[in-house]
Amino acid sequence: MDFLTDTNNLLVLVVAVISGMMLMFPGLSKRGANTINANTAVQQINQRQAILIDIRKAESYKASHIPQARNIPAEELTAKTEKIAKDKPIIVVCDTGRNAQRSVAELRKQGFTDVAVLEGGITAWAQAGLPTKKS
């Protein structure tokens, strides 16, 4: 019992338990947004006609983007989603998958229910050997 009464040991134990939980339940570390990898995204596009929304600035989009993706920069997302079907899955794309979380939350506020972030963003897509194009 001396192990648990030492403050340093207790801190190490708490950190170990929290780390273990995050490994067991990866969703806890994703801040609430669904993430899908590039292969799952391809399946969603082919089987469910998922819509890709690239939230990067126009210059980044023009330099390299997923062929089917629509460019709607994050700051314009609220104003430009009225024409997007709410009955299809939405996959939000950014550079690395980290900036898309806010956009997913915004889309959910607007009534989109099947929304996910492309894990690793356009970078992971390209690393998976999937096609990109320039505009």
pLDDT of 79-93, one tens digit each? 998 889 999 999 999
Does the active-site annotation cover 94? yes
Where are the chain's structural domains?
1-29, 31-127
- CATH architecture of the domain 31-127 equals 3-Layer(aba) Sandwich (3.40)
Amino acid occupying residue 33: A
Range with the largest mean pLDDT of 19-23, 24-28, 97-101: 97-101
pLDDT of residue 120: 95
- Report yes or no: 97 and 121 within 8 Å, Cβ to Cβ: yes
User: How many Å apart are CA 38 and CA 48, to the nearest integer?
Assistant: 15
Catalytic residue among 38, 50, 55, 94: 94
Contacts of 92 (CB under 8 A, 6+ apart): 53, 55, 100, 103, 104, 107, 115, 116, 117, 118
The average pLDDT across 96-117 equals 93
User: How many Å apart are CA 16 and CA 86, to the nearest integer?
Assistant: 42
* pLDDT band per the 50, 70, 90 thresholds, residue 30: very low
